[in-house]
Amino acid sequence: MNAIAEQKRKNRIYTAVILGMLAAVIVIGIACLFVGASNMTFRDALDALLGSGNDAQSRIIWKIRVPRVLAAVIAGAGLGVAGLVMQTTLNNPMASPSTLGVSNGAVFGANLSIIAFAGGFLSTGNNIQSFDVGANPYATSLLAFVFSTLSVLLILGLCTLRSFSPNVVVLAGMAIGAVWTAATTILQFYATDVGLSAAVVWSFGDLGRATYRTDLIMLAVVLAGLVFFWLMSWKYNALLSGEATAKTMGVHVEGLRFATLLLASVITAVCVSFLGIIGFVGIICPHVTKKLLGQDHRVTVPASALSGSLLLLLADTLSRSLGSGSALPVGAITSLLGAPFFLTVIFGKKGGHHGC
């Protein structure tokens, strides 16, 4: 009876924490709508939000800030939970959505679209008008998604030829990522100043390019992933005890790892293709939630998603507050926050496979 009572007490705590995180996401998300570089007062923003502001203020709120906040919530949730399940299935606390070269592939695809197909080669010169005619943001996002997904499929295909072990996956991801990086460097070497500038700017994580259409696409993919990961929670919990133990409990470890890595990588690919590179969310959030709430994936899956949304909302608010008239790339803010955390995890690790 004591064990049952203790579990009920923990469940109440977990529920309260998750509800508190959800409330924080809602509150901070609403607060983000009133922060920006347009010099709108709180009253102006509130009037525009309620539909009584002028046309310019309404456009800023409903066409820029609302899609931006939704993108932060959706992408943060996707990247946070993707990092969690990758760390579990690869048995590696340093695993993240970039482990399989997803981000590297996306950067190459975007550079290929911008430099090769939008007038960014040397032969076209630095005529910015001709470049603008050929540039298409959806084409860039599409090629970024195609190459990031191709990277995942290539790595998983190579791993199925050999033993599908976590170490093989990580090493293959590093190798493929290095190839994409080298190919991107070669493309940029032959780019014009205009093409190179556009390609570099794309790689900055920027929530300002979000629209309702891109938010809807990301939401569909992230939501499907969250449902799948939560339904597989007991299998991830079994995997924490080791592959042998998980197999005795009826878990098809190789199949679970393949499906998890594929879906987590697709989530990352979709977010990166629309928003650019946003690093460290998939490392910071899973470690924090596991430290606070333990290893039970029935709890850590929703908690990692909510903490990812919180982190990206806070980073975006900070980026717009420090921009002095323009928002800093949110990817730079998350990297500045994540790099010290990453070093703390590395040098503060006392052992174990999943703790921080």
Q: Among 273, 264, 302, 253, which residue's Cα sits nearest to residue 15?
A: 302
Question: 226, 304 in Cβ contact below 8 A?
Answer: no
Please report which confidence band the pLDDT of residue 105 belongs to, taking 50, 70 and 90 as the band edges.
Answer: very high
| Class of the CATH domain delimited by 2-348 | mainly alpha
pLDDT of 84: 95
Indicate the domain borders of the chain. 2-348
Backbone angles phi, psi at 121, to 5 degrees: -85, 165
Could you tell me the two tokens for 316? Answer: 């975006």
Q: How far is CA 172 from the centre of its chain?
A: 21
pLDDT of 121: 52
pLDDT at residue 163 above 80?
Answer: no
Which range has the worst mean pLDDT, 38-42, 261-265, 317-321?
Answer: 38-42
Question: 158, 172 in Cβ contact below 8 A?
Answer: yes
- Cα–Cα dist 135/130, whole Å: 9
pLDDT of 180: 93
pLDDT at residue 47 above 60?
Answer: yes
pLDDT of 136: 60
Backbone angles phi, psi at 276, to 5 degrees: 90, -170
Could you tell me the two tokens for 241? Answer: 């005890």
Is the alpha carbon torsion for 104, 105, 111, 114 positive or negative?
negative
Please report which confidence band the pLDDT of residue 26 belongs to, taking 50, 70 and 90 as the band edges.
Answer: very high
The pTM assigned to this predicted structure is: 0.88
pLDDT of 69: 95
